[in-house]
Structures are given as structure tokens and as C-alpha cells.
């Protein structure tokens, strides 16, 4: 390796060193994946060159074939991978293979470090594939010449430990990259060309450029999405997924469909195994590419699918898309909008079918990707109906952890029931311990539990399902049949006494309470608070507080509903005249207890203090 005299030495960025450390010392499985990573980088570089050719007049050596070549030298123990792609300038070498620019890679590094699964499959997912070369090599040289007419011929070398160095190449290099791996003693197998061919056959058959060993081409280019389903095996589908998504997992779902009307479409979409957003890696990047009759138009086109489908991987091919469509005009194109609508609808229908065929499998999907569907309900009016069919939740009639959907809910609804009831809360136990459920439960009405933060937003946008209004069981204007055959214990307080008690409480409790009234929903609790008509729910207040801890929230306002049959209410009505001091304490405690069980108590100092006073009074009274 002859280089000029003044090589430039640099240390790796800290994250790179960390990645390298993991790559070299911890990843022992599937070492062969480095071939796939380097070939896929070469393929990307060729793809980018093809695009650059469209916009730039002057490309260095335009006649060079767009292909990837591999050669091995058993004697020297080296493997070489070359391409005539974009190549890299000096700055690009520093930037691209000396640092990690990707956001989220730190979070991912952390999760990789903590993960018991030190799996080389993870490396491709966080965009540091190049460094996998150091799994097998103790020295890597990247000979590179950029496509730019006046670029230098450079050699980047590193042992993967101390840093790297960039020197001028002694020879004039052709455009592109030539990567030479000096294989480690225990990895010399990769210097045998038959071994390399075997790995290529496993991983690289969908690379869209010729992959050559000498004069022989080892891959065939195939647009499997334009073939008939019956001609494709499961293995081929999975292999294509792995190639197109740069993934190592098996997809959860795949949808392959063709349509002639309203436009010609061939689409092959995959749902990956994992939702990396749940790992704190930031937003997933959209991963469905747009093709026109097998020719790639854009590998990450914005607006091809709605943003909430950013977890999908695969290909959409439409013969109707003009080949010269630009990135800018793509989003405005009515054709792309049509594609978007048709494919999205089709995908939602597909999911609905899958949910019916195998509810458990769908449940696993939902646990990971349900958030995207909820996001869709919130932001995407056009698909709200299709999406709402796919929503899943627990309810008062499911076992804990078992999910149901709106359609199933309606099959269990009572005759003539024209509403869908729900409660929001932080967890199932809290919702079930609250006072709101009992009235509906005793009437045999099923109540859906919405337990995630995002559900508050969801419910602001989802007002009905199948013509049935969604109603909160905690809302002030919940109307329930009173002539139902429910047996309630105890006599109700006389109406006039009740009225007087309500007035008393209203004046005792002041500002915080908008209204005090008797109600029919309570069975075993004496009182419950309801969000005032213009008030915010407890979850909404919590969420706003979490988002902005410094911010001032408007004062909380609630309505207090009393249970006219409850012994405590009877006793309080009496105590108002006979023991006014005690009644005052009980009034305050009644409200705070109701707020507490609704998850709405914001200051508990009074509750505790009053509690002590009440205990003291009760004990003194019993010893009188």
C-alpha cells in the first residue's frame, strides 16, 4: 500500500470507538454479515451516483460500469470489495467513517450495551454497518476517489482501535471505493472466494446492481413485487424484506397486492418485528420506496404514505408515475396522493382481516405498533374509520391483559344501547376502584378502559364508532335509565332535604365546586366528582403538567354528585344542624375523597389534616 508522505492522523469520535469496541469484543455471532453491510453500502453509493448523474453535468469517468466486484486473496488473507459509486472526498471520509452523525445512535448504543442480546444483527439497524468490517479484519483500507472532477485519490486506513489515517494514494484511483480487509487469523475463511460466494448468495440476491466475482455475476436482479404471489416462496419474501429494509429480523406481516384501478399498483409491504421508537431511538424513518416499472424513483419519498405508517417497509411500484418526477413535486402530485390513499386503505383492510384470522398474532402486533394506529386516528381524518376498527383495549368485561375492539363491544351491547361507554385512567385497578363504574356495571353495560396517555388525545378526535356515540362514564351529562330493574339498597333521602344538603355543600365547598346534585350513577359510594362541562379531565391535567411543569393550569372545577341512598349522606344531612363543626369537616373530606378516587386531588395536605381531626372527634365521641 504505497501512500504519499504526509498522512493525516485522527482519533475516532467517542461514539465510534464505543461501537468499534462492541463490534470487536462482543459480537461473535454471524460474522459473515459484514459482507452484506459492505455490499449494501456499495449499492447505495451506486444508487446515489445514478441520481447525481441526473443533476450534475460533469461526473468523473462516466463510462465506468455501475457494478460491485469482490475478490479474495487466500495467500495474503485479504478480501476486496470495490464499486464505481460516488466515492468520498477527504471531508466525506472524516464525516462518514470517522464519526456517527445519526441522531438516536447514542440511545441505541446504550440499549446495545445493556442488552443481553449482543447480536450482530443489531448493527445494521443503527446505521453503522461499515464498522462491521472490524469484526473480521484487523486492518481496513478504503481507497476512494469521489465523482467530483477535481477530487483527490485517497486511502483511509485503520486498525479499528487507535484511530484512522488518511493519505494521498500513490496511484490514480478510478471513481468509487475499493475496500481492502486484512482478515484476522480466525476469519481467514473469508479469503476463500467460494465462502464469499456462499454468503453473497444468501444475502445479496436483491442488490439492484450486478455483483461480480471475476467475470461471473452472482446475483440476479428481481422485482419480486411485480411477480405473481404463487411464484414467490416465503423464503424469497423474507429475503427481500431483509434486503429492502436492511433488516435481520423476520417480518411480522407482509401484504402483497396488485391493482389496475384506479391506478396501476404493485405493492409489497412489510411490518417489521420491532418498533424501534419504543427503544427511545427517535422517529422511525419512512421505509417504503417508490418504483416505476422496476426503476427506483425515490427510496424514501415523503408523502408516499401517511406519516403514521412510517414503520412500514417495502416497495410501491406504479407504472403511472412519471420517471422524471422530482422530490419536490412528489408531494403535490395527485398521482402520489392517489397511491397514498389506495395503499393505506388497502393496508388497513389487510390488518382488519389479519386481526380476525389470528387475534393473538394481531395482539402482539398491536402491543408494539398500536401507537401508530392511535396517532393515525388523531391526525388523519380520512382513515379514522378504518383505523378505529383496529383499536384494541381492555374493558369491564375482559380479563386483565385481554384486549377487545369496538366491533366486539357492540356484539355484547344491550338491546337498544346507542352509546359506547368508556373510562380513562392510569391503570385498570384505579379505574375499577373509582366510583364511576358501578352504575354502568349494575346495569349490565360494558365500559371500555382507556389507559394510555395518548388516549386522551385519541378521544378528542374519536367521537363515535359505527354511529354510536362514545361517552365517558365520568361525564356530568351521562344519562342512564332509571327504570331498569336494579335493586338499590336503602331509602333515598327526601327531595327537600337533599336540596338543602346540596345548597349547604355548595356554599361550604366554594369555588372548586361548580354544582352539587343528587345522581343515579352511584351504588356503593356516597359521592363522586365529575369533570365540569368546560373542565379538563384528570389525565389531561396530568399530561399538561408533565409537558410543562412550570406552567399554571386553570383552577380545577368539578361537579359533585351525591348518592341519595348512602348512609353517610343521610347522616351528613342530619349533622348539618346537630353538629355543624363536624359536618363542615365531613363536607371537606367528602370532596377530597371523591377527588382522590378520581385521580384529581392536587393537594393532599388538607385531606390528611382533616382526617386526623375527624379521627380525634370520633374517638372522643365514643368515649363520652
Q: Residues in the site for ligand ADP, rule: CB under 6 A?
A: 37, 41-42, 45, 83, 85-88, 96-97, 127-131, 177
- The whole-angstrom separation of Cα 374 and Cα 370 is 6
Burial state string for 500-521 with b = 16 or more CB within 10 A and e = fewer than 16: ebbebbeebbeeebbebebbbb
**Residue that is written with C-alpha cell 403514521 in the block:** 308
Classify 3 as helix, strand or coil. strand
To ligand ADP, the closest distance from the beta carbon of 97 in angstroms equals: 5
Minimum distance from residue 37 beta carbon to ligand ADP (Å) = 6
Residue 226 in grid coordinates: 411485480
- CB closer to ligand ADP, 70 vs 594: 70
Q: Are 423 and 472 in contact (CB under 8 A)?
A: yes
In the complex, minimum distance from the CB of residue 17 to ligand ADP, in angstroms, rounded to a whole number: 14
Q: Output the CA torsion 547→553→557→558 (10° steps).
A: 10
Task: Please say which residue, 83 or 456, places its beta carbon nearer to ligand ADP.
Answer: 83
Work out the burial of residue 329: count CB atoms within 10 Å of its CB; fewer than 13 is exposed, 13-18 middle, 19 or more buried.
Answer: exposed
Closer residue to ligand ADP (CB): 42 or 373: 42
The residues near 17 (Cβ < 8 Å, ≥ 6 apart) are 11
* Minimum CB distance to ligand ADP, residue 213 (Å): 17
DSSP 424: E
Any idea which residue has 366486539 for its cell? 408
Alpha helices (H) along 513-566? 538-547
Q: Position of cell 360494558?
A: 446
CB of 236 to ligand ADP, least distance (A): 24
SS3 159: coil
User: Which is closer to ligand ADP, CB of 88 or CB of 594?
Assistant: 88
Q: What is the DSSP string of 477-518?
A: T----SSS-----SPPPPHHHHHHHHHHHHHHHGGGEEEEEE
% helix, strand, coil for the chain, step of 5: 45, 20, 40
CB of 46 to ligand ADP, least distance (A): 8
Sheet holding 513-518, edge to edge: 513-518, 558-562, 527-531
C-beta of 160 vs 535, nearer to ligand ADP? 160
Q: How far is the CB of 88 from ligand ADP (least distance, A)?
A: 5
What's the farthest any 2 CA atoms get from each other in the chain? Answer: 107
Nearer to ligand ADP, 7 or 127 (CB): 127
Are 158 and 139 spatial neighbours (Cβ–Cβ below 8 Å)? yes
Q: Which is nearer to ligand ADP, 45 or 72 (CB)?
A: 45
For ligand ADP, the closer of residues 97 and 135 by Cβ is: 97
Nearer to ligand ADP, 42 or 390 (CB): 42
User: How many helices (H) and strands (E) would you count in the chain?
Assistant: 20, 22
How is residue 80 written as a grid cell?
476486496
Measured from the CB atom, is 23 or 573 closer to ligand ADP?
Answer: 23
The β-bridge partners of 447 are 421
- Locate cell 403535490: which residue? 332
- Beta carbon nearer to ligand ADP, 94 or 188: 94
Q: How far is the CB of 280 from ligand ADP (least distance, A)?
A: 19
Print burial letters for 271-284: b (CB count within 10 Å at least 16), e (below 16).
bbeebbbebebeeb
Find the shortest distance in angstroms from Cβ 150 to ligand ADP.
Answer: 18
Give the shortest CB-325-to-ligand ADP separation in angstroms: 25
Nearer to ligand ADP, 35 or 522 (CB): 35
CB 182 within 8 A of CB 139: yes
Cα 538–chain centre separation: 25
Closest to ligand ADP by CB, 89 vs 398, is: 89
In angstroms, give the least distance from the CB of 132 to ligand ADP: 8
d(CA 64, CA 56): 16
Amino acid at each position: 500500500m504505497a501512500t504519499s508522505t504526509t498522512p493525516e492522523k485522527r482519533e475516532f469520535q467517542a461514539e465510534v470507538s464505543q461501537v468499534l469496541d462492541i463490534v470487536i469484543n462482543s459480537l461473535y455471532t454471524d460474522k459473515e454479515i459484514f459482507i452484506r453491510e459492505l455490499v449494501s453500502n456499495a449499492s447505495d453509493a451506486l444508487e446515489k451516483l445514478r441520481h447525481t448523474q441526473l443533476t450534475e453535468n460533469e461526473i468523473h469517468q462516466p463510462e465506468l460500469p455501475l457494478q460491485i466486484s469482490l475478490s479474495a486473496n487466500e495467500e495474503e488473507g485479504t478480501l476486496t470489495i470495490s464499486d464505481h459509486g460516488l466515492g468520498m472526498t477527504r471531508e466525506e471520509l472524516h464525516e462518514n467513517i470517522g464519526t456517527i452523525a445519526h441522531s438516536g445512535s447514542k440511545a441505541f448504543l446504550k440499549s446495545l450495551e445493556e442488552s443481553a442480546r449482543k447480536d450482530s444483527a443489531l448493527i445494521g439497524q443503527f446505521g453503522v454497518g461499515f464498522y462491521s468490517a472490524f469484526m473480521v479484519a484487523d486492518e481496513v483500507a478504503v481507497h476512494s476517489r469521489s465523482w467530483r472532477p477535481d477530487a483527490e485519490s485517497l486511502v483511509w486506513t485503520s486498525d479499528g482501535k487507535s484511530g484512522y489515517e488518511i493519505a494521498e494514494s500513490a496511484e490514480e484511483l478510478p471513481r468509487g471505493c475499493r475496500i481492502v480487509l486484512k482478515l484476522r487469523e480466525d476469519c481467514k475463511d473469508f479469503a476463500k472466494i467460494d465462502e464469499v460466494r456462499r454468503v453473497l448468495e444468501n444475502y445479496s440476491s436483491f442488490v439492484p446492481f450486478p455483483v461480480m466475482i471475476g467475470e461471473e455475476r452472482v446475483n440476479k436482479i428481481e422485482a419480486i413485487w411485480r411477480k405473481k404471489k404463487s411464484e414467490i416462496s416465503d423464503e424469497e419474501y423474507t429475503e427481500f424484506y431483509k434486503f429492502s429494509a436492511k433488516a435481520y429480523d423476520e417480518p411480522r406481516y407482509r401484504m402483497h397486492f396488485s391493482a389496475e384501478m384506479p391506478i396501476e399498483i404493485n405493492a409489497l409491504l412489510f411490518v417489521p418485528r420491532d418498533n424501534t421508537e419504543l427503544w427511545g431511538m427517535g422517529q422511525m424513518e419512512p421505509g417504503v420506496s417508490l418504483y416505476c416499472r422496476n426503476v427506483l424513483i425515490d427510496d424514501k419519498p415523503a408523502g408516499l404514505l401517511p406519516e403514521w405508517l412510517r414503520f412500514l417497509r417495502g416497495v410501491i411500484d406504479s407504472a403511472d408515475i412519471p420517471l422524471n418526477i422530482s422530490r419536490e413535486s412528489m408531494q403535490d402530485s395527485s398521482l402520489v396522493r392517489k397511491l397514498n390513499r389506495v395503499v393505506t386503505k388497502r393496508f388497513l383492510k389487510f390488518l382488519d382481516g389479519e386481526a380476525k384470522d389470528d387475534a393473538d398474532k394481531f395482539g402482539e402486533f398491536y402491543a408494539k405498533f398500536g401507537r401508530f394506529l392511535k396517532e393515525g386516528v388523531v391526525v388523519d381524518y380520512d382513515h379514522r374509520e378504518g383505523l378505529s376498527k383496529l383499536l384494541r383495549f381492555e374493558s369491564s368485561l375482559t380479563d386483565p391483559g385481554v384486549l377487545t375492539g369496538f366491533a366486539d363491544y357492540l356484539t355484547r351491547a344491550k338491546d337498544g344501547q346507542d352509546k359506547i361507554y368508556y373510562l380513562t385512567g392510569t391503570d385498570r385497578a384505579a379505574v375499577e376502584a373509582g366510583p364511576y363504574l358501578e352504575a354502568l356495571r349494575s346495569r349490565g353495560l360494558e365500559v371500555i378502559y382507556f389507559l394510555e396517555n395518548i388516549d386522551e388525545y385519541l378521544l378528542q378526535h374519536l367521537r363515535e364508532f359505527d354511529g354510536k356515540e362514545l361517552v365517558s362514564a365520568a361525564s356530568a351529562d351521562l344519562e342512564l335509565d332509571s327504570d331498569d330493574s336494579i335493586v338499590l339498597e336503602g331509602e333515598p333521602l327526601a327531595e327537600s332535604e337533599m336540596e338543602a344538603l346540596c345548597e349547604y355543600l355548595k356554599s361550604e365547598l366554594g369555588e372548586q365546586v361548580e354544582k352539587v346534585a343528587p345522581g343515579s350513577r352511584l351504588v356503593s359510594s356516597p359521592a363522586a366528582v365529575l369533570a365540569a362541562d368546560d373542565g379538563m379531565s384528570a389525565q389531561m391535567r396530568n399530561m399538561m403538567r408533565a409537558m410543562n411543569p412550570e406552567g399554571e393550569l386553570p383552577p380545577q372545577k368539578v361537579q359533585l354528585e351525591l348518592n341519595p341512598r348512602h348512609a353517610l349522606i343521610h347522616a351528613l344531612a342530619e349533622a348539618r344542624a346537630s353538629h355543624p363543626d363536624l359536618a363542615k369537616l365531613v363536607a371537606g373530606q367528602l370532596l377530597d375523597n371523591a377527588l382522590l378516587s378520581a385521580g384529581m386531588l392536587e393537594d393532599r395536605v388538607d385531606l390528611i389534616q382533616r382526617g386526623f381531626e375527624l379521627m380525634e372527634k370520633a374517638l372522643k365521641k365514643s368515649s363520652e
